[in-house]
Amino acid sequence: MMSSAILMVAVTPMVSQAQDLSAAPGESGDTAWLLAATVFLLLAGLPGVALFQAGRARTGAFVATMVQTATIAAAVSLAWVLVGYTLAFGTVTAGWLGSGNAWMLIQLSDLRDGLTVPESAFAFFQIACAIVCTALIPGAWSGRARFGWVILFTTLWSLIVLAPVVHWLWGGGWLAAASGTIDFAGGMALEVSAGTAALVTAILMGRGLDFDDPRNLRLSPITLAGAFLLWLGWLALCGGSIFAANDDAAAALVATHAAGCAGMLTRLLIDRLRRQPPHAESAALGLVAGLAAIAPAALTVSLGGAAAIGAIGAALAVGSAALIRRIGIDDRLSVFSLFAVPGAAGSVLVAIFMAPALGGTGYDDTMNPVAQLVAQVIGVAVVMTWSAIGSTIIALAASLAFPMRVSESSEEAGLDAAIHGEA
């Protein structure tokens, strides 16, 4: 009996730290919406990323792309449960990193501060965002990166680069608080950071042996299917970022949809002007670029503004991809062009299209169009610089444990066969 009593006393504090099950649940409708959006983001976003990237991979890298996406999802999930969430959303101190109050997701509040949803639901949504964001990066090294290095790099990157950026912009940190930078659903925090990491690591890894080989469009329907899933996932991302089931969520959903449609049609129009057929891959790339462009602005612009941002993002993606390839950088699946460039463009354009004269929500009392534009440019520059420097250091450090690149024989044979044993 004495030993049982001692055991109960020892266990009780740990149970109370996990979550108070008797606490008020907040608004059940808002909680249900957030949980549904989170599950839908994972359900559509992860297969979406995997298929969208695998469908454009060179021969022999289809399975490798799928396996890397799945393993990154598992590794980043655990990393963010352990420390990533608290670094991003722990109690604000100096504004650079969250405190350690929520490591291992202990001491979560009954309701997230300022919201009507449990912090556990809020944390699950943010972990899903980190997973999908990080899973984008390996598209830059498709077909030539060593599996162990990929997993180590992306896991460390999600903690060292992504988590601080998220804190600065979404967790009450210095960037949003000091400069008034707006990043509604991740144009900077998710897309610019991931796209920049993809570009600098692609440069470090060097061009693939098949860089000059002609593209294979045989799997374009798979690419388009992945883009359709990303369409649904981005709706969940932008709609869920309201953290409430209300008219703002509906407005964000419709704006995201409009931008994706505009991006797809713009890309097909560009191909038409180039006298090229309407490829399935082109439709997919335009759709994804439009979705990436609207993420930072979906809550603050009109539907017309959203469509304009989506179209501009898709056009810029085409131009940047051509420029990067002409320079000789092997960002194999155009992660930087499809996500960072439209995300940065949308982040800057929000300062213009949020003007009331253009149907936007208007500026805060302390801001005006010029000040908002400056704040947005500062935000993009800070995130891009931080990601470039941090990604370079992490990539080189991870290469001390695992070489970045597979051998030439493995690259020629294809990672599906050489690494994963798939014929």
Domains of the chain: 30-418 (1.10.3430.10)
Contact 64, 416 (CB under 8 A): yes
To which H or E segment does residue 350 belong? helix 341-353
320: closest CA among 303, 348, 354, 345?
345
Report whether pLDDT(65) > 80: yes
The pLDDT mean for the chain works out to 92
For 143, the 3-state DSSP assignment is coil
Question: What are the residues whose beta carbons fall under 8 Å from the beta carbon of 270, sequence distance 6 or more?
Answer: 314, 315, 318
* Residue 369 CA: distances (Å) to CA of 183, 352, 372: 16, 7, 5
Contact 200, 392 (CB under 8 A): yes
pLDDT tens per residue across span 153-189 = 999 999 999 999 999 999 999 999 989 999 999 999 9
Average pLDDT over residues 190-215: 93
Q: Which amino acid is at 193?
A: S
CB atoms within 10 A of CB 292: 35
pLDDT of residue 291: 98
Contact 183, 299 (CB under 8 A): no
Distance of alpha carbon 234 from alpha carbon 257, whole angstroms? 9
* pLDDT top residue among 3 and 119: 119
Band (pLDDT 50/70/90 cuts) for residue 249 is very high
Band (pLDDT 50/70/90 cuts) for residue 414 is confident
CA-based end-to-end distance of the chain: 61
pLDDT tens per residue across span 293-336 = 999 999 999 999 999 999 999 999 999 999 999 999 999 999 99
Question: What are the residues whose beta carbons fall under 8 Å from the beta carbon of 287, sequence distance 6 or more?
Answer: 227, 228, 230, 231, 260, 261, 263, 264, 267
Distance of alpha carbon 66 from alpha carbon 62, whole angstroms? 7
pLDDT of residue 73: 97
pLDDT tens per residue across span 213-238 = 877 777 899 999 999 999 999 999 99
Helix axes 119-136, 147-157, angle to 10 degrees: 140
Backbone angles phi, psi at 87, to 5 degrees: -65, -35
414: closest CA among 60, 53, 51?
60
Distance of alpha carbon 130 from alpha carbon 327, whole angstroms? 30
Average pLDDT over residues 141-159: 96
Distance of alpha carbon 318 from alpha carbon 312, whole angstroms? 10
Band (pLDDT 50/70/90 cuts) for residue 10 is very low
Dihedral sign for Cα 43, 134, 231, 113, please. Answer: positive
* Residue 125 CA: distances (Å) to CA of 18, 68, 226, 248: 18, 22, 21, 18
Q: Which amino acid is at 251?
A: A
Question: What are the residues whose beta carbons fall under 8 Å from the beta carbon of 391, sequence distance 6 or more?
Answer: 157, 161, 196, 197, 200, 201
pLDDT of residue 423: 59
Distance of alpha carbon 23 from alpha carbon 404, whole angstroms? 48
CB atoms within 10 A of CB 59: 13
Report whether pLDDT(20) > 90: no
169: closest CA among 184, 157, 155, 154?
184
* pLDDT top residue among 286 and 213: 286
* Residue 230 CA: distances (Å) to CA of 167, 171, 225: 25, 25, 9
pTM of the model: 0.92
Contact 151, 157 (CB under 8 A): no
Distance of alpha carbon 386 from alpha carbon 174, whole angstroms? 14
